[in-house]
Amino acid sequence: MDKDNIKTITVETTPEEEKKWHEEYYERKDRQKKDFEALIKPEALRVLKDFGITKAYVHYSGCGDDGSINEVEFYVGKNVITLNDSHIVDRGERRYWCYTDHKYKTTTEPMHLKDYFEDVAYDFLEAFHGGWEINEGQHGGMYFKVAENEIQHDYVEIVENEREENI
């Protein structure tokens, strides 16, 4: 690439604009957390209860700007159950990210329980652990416990440390 033909764009912001951006960002993050706790968590636990499932476990991992749900398991008591075609969740109208068009779309299509819990897990991570997939990343698991009406999240944040040693 010819370095003489590289063009740069400089965007200057005032301290007031930067402050406003940060305030709006943290307001959005707070709203995501509140919405998750008030809407998504109760719905997810109700869905499990309606299917007679006592616990769901979601394992995830992320690093290097990429992350994924690795496993979703459902339990009745201490026994892992196998889902079938009847484990369908009808959420009504919902938004989803279309990977082929690279934009949000709306659908009313019902979804399989496993897919539903993958979405719930991504919503949880976005609300409470934004950036879990960036740099060294984070991995962990979420237990959705119906009887306790809670989500237990066990995770490891991976942090790079640089050190120098003279011996």
pLDDT tens sequence across 24-67? 999 999 999 999 999 999 999 999 999 999 999 999 999 888 89
Backbone phi, psi, residue 156, to 5°: -125, 120
Between 98 and 152, the more confident residue is: 152
pLDDT for position 97: 79
Burial of 132: CB neighbours in 10 Å, binned 0-12, 13-18, 19+: buried
89 contacts 111 by C-beta, under 8 angstroms:
yes
Q: Return the percentage of the chain with pLDDT > 90, whole number.
A: 71
Split at pLDDT 50, 70, 90, the class of 6 is confident
pLDDT for position 3: 67
Residues 6+ apart with CB under 8 A from 161: none
Question: What amino acid occupies position 3?
Answer: K
Does this model's pTM top 0.95? My answer is no
Question: What amino acid occupies position 166?
Answer: N
SS3 label, residue 104: strand
pLDDT tens track for 109-167: 999 999 999 999 999 999 999 888 888 889 999 999 999 999 999 999 988 888 899 99
Report the candidate in 142, 166, 5 with the shortest Cα–Cα distance to residue 61: 142
pLDDT for position 120: 95
